[in-house]
Each structure stands twice: as structure tokens, then as C-alpha cells.
Copies of this chain bind each other. A is one copy, B any other.
Amino acid sequence: MKPEEGFLPRGTHVLGDLHGADPEMLADAAFLERAARQAAELAGATVLSVNCHHFGAGLGVAGVVLLAESHLTFHTWPEHGFAALDAFMCGDCRPQLAIEWLSNALRAQSSVVRVIERGTAPTSNKPVAQEHFGNEVA
């Protein structure tokens, strides 16, 4: 098979660092799994599978949601009120919406959101869009 030329798959990858989020929610694997599914569907994606790992009672949770349009992941540190999220979606999905919705659901006081276009030609060097939301944390 020879690759087609002149077309590159495109997708948007959104990274969200959430600060000052609710520690109890960040340690609740069942809640996080439901929230991640809901965020992915809200963004217009189709969930294929969800896989979570809870590091222990009161500790963080790592989760990966495999999507027909790529993936959504979350990693939480309840002891720091911190979560690292990423949503990579192709097509007409809106990964930014998933990250914003999760930021609200987890009651984050502030977040750093980076938006990165994937699948652009290697010659392009488009800067990453970065946004800060909410109150600064100490």
C-alpha cells in the first residue's frame, strides 16, 4: 500500500491543567469515569472504551477514554487539587468543550488550556494557543 499524497489527517489536541479542583471528586474514580464519558459525548465524540486505574482510597485516578475520533485522558492528584486532562479529537468534534466542561464539573479554580493542531505539515510551525482561566493559585 502506498500512502496518498496531498492530504493530511487533521485533529485538535487540547491540554488542560486544572488547579484548585475539588479533592473529593479527584479521588472518585466512578465519578471521573462518568464525567469523562459525558464530556466526550458533549464534544460530539463516540466512546469506544474507558479504562481507569485508581491508585488507592483518597489517592489519584488515571483514566483513558478511547474514542472513534481519538482519545480523552485524565490524571488526578487530589492531594494537590490538580488534574491534567487531554482531549484529542478529529473531524467536527469540539475537544475544547470537553476540557471546559470537565474544568467546571471538577470545580477548578483556574486552568491552563493549550490548543495544538495535529497533523499539520512538518514545514508549518503554528504556535500553540495557550489560555489561562479563572483565579491564579498560590
Contacts and interface: CB of A to CB of B under 8 A. Distances in A.
Nearest to A21: B3
Interface residues of A, number: 63
A40 interface: no
Number of this chain's copies in the complex: 2
Contacts of A11: 75, 84
A73 B64 contact: yes
Contact of A84 (B3, B7, B49, B88): B88
Contacts of A6: 138
B4 A79 contact: yes
Interface in A1-33: 1-9, 11, 13, 15, 17, 19-20, 23-24, 27
A62 B71 contact: yes
